[in-house]
Structure formats: structure tokens, C-alpha cells
Amino acid sequence: MGPGDYFDDLAAFYDAVHDQQADDVAFYRNLAREADGPVLEVGCGTGRIYLELLRDGVDADGIDVASEPLDVLRETAAEDGLEPTVWQADMTTIEPDREYALVIVPFRTFLYLLEVDDQLSALERFHDSLAPDGQLALNAFVPSFEVICEHYGEWTDREIEIDGDEYTYRTITELDDEVEQLARVRTEVVDDAGERVVRSAHRLKLLSKSEFDLLFRCSPFSSWEVYGGFEYDPLEDPSQEMVWIADR
């Protein structure tokens, strides 16, 4: 099962699970406000970040590999009087009709690319989608041995409510292939009667800082920098989020 199928299955529950006030939302909103031209969000999903850009008056487009989250995004946009420009597309083959001042790939979306060829193809497509002075911004977690040893293989439960109905949202992450450094994330949604209403899974690539650096070295980007978290701190600890900003 690919990420498109996974997010199609979970589209109805996504917004109830993920915090609208997360640090990454403010970070990408600020980048988009400062961009001198249109913005493209890769992996816009149900619009957790994308709709905030529209509310800020940003000229933004969005793509996602899954169709169901885009339907949720369009419904929310219509309720708020917003006019989104989003479409279903694969980040490794996108060919937008215009150039962007900023391409953003939030919420670890790049990690759904499991093969080096796909990772390099995506970086090339991002680069070619940018205007001459454009920037790419993306984030990914640091593969932490402590987290893998202590938390992988354990279910995490979260109680959520949608339209007055209560559900338990359950996830478990496991090492799927140690040689290829692939993790498998399984998700279940159980209703208040104990009936499982969704069961889905996808895989992620565990990419280190040095692997990202090598990918950028092999890409067309002219320069890049990594930060530890969304406040532009130095990357010094595995608990920090890797935040990469690359110049065309």
C-alpha cells in the first residue's frame, strides 16, 4: 500500500488528529508570506497548512498524491469562502504551468520516497518548478536510535471526536527493513463500540542528515542549509526536526 492509499483511507480523520497550531504551520506561513511570488505546497493533504496560506492572501497552489484528502480540503475551503488551486500529482513527476518563488514540502512528506532515484527525481522537479531566485523548504525527523529502541513496536492511542462521534486513533511504527532503513507505520481507527472502521499502513525512508546532504549535492540546487527545528537553531540533537532550505 502506497502513501496515496494510506491517506485516502484516513482523510476523514486527519484534521482531528493533527494540531492546527503546530510549529511547522507558523514556520511555513512565515516563509510563504515573505516569498516574492507564488507558492507550491507538495503534499498539501486536507489543507492543514495550505488553507492557512490562502487565509493569509498567499497565491498558493497545492498537490497531493491522494485524492480523498483533496476532497476534504475543497469542502473546507468552500465553507470558508476560499478558492483553492490543488490537484492530484506525484512529486517525482510534477510539471507545473508556472514558476514558484517557494516550494514547501511539509510534515516529512519527502520520506515517502523510498528509492534514491525517486528522491533525486523529486528534487529535480522541485528545482525546475522554482523561479531563478526561488527556494525549497522541507522537514524530516532525525532517525533516533533511542526512539527506535524504546518506542518502535508499541501502539500509541489517541482519543478523537468527529461530528460528535468518538474514536480511538491508533498507530504503531516498526522497522520494516533494517538494511534499506525503512519503517512501516500502521494505523487503525476504532469507534466507541470497539469496531475497527479503518486499517491502513505505509512505509517511510529513514534518512540521516548526511544522506540528505548527499542528495542535495547530487541535485541541481546551488546551495542548502539545515536547521534544528523551526526556529532556525543549529541541528545538534536527534530530538530536533531537520529543516532544510535550499536555493535554486
**What's residue 151's pLDDT?**
95
Q: In whole angstroms, give the CA distance from residue 126 to residue 137.
A: 10
- The pLDDT value given to residue 6: 63
Instruction: Give the Cα separation of 122 and 105 in Å (integer).
Output: 11
| φ, ψ of residue 183 in degrees (nearest 5) | -110, 150
- So what's the pLDDT on residue 7? 66
* Structural domain spans, the chain: 3-142+207-247, 145-205
CB 62 within 8 A of CB 41: yes
104 closest CA partner among 144, 185, 66, 48: 48
3-142+207-247 homologous superfamily: Vaccinia Virus protein VP39 (3.40.50.150)
Nearest-5° angle of CA 68, CA 71, CA 74?
155
- Is the distance from CB of 196 to CB of 190 less than 8 angstroms? yes
What string of pLDDT tens digits covers the 248 residues of the chain? 667 566 667 778 877 787 555 789 999 999 999 999 999 999 999 999 999 999 999 999 999 999 999 999 999 999 999 999 999 999 999 999 999 999 999 999 999 999 999 999 999 999 999 999 999 999 999 999 999 999 999 999 999 998 899 999 999 999 999 999 999 999 999 999 999 998 999 999 999 999 999 999 999 999 999 999 999 999 999 999 999 999 99
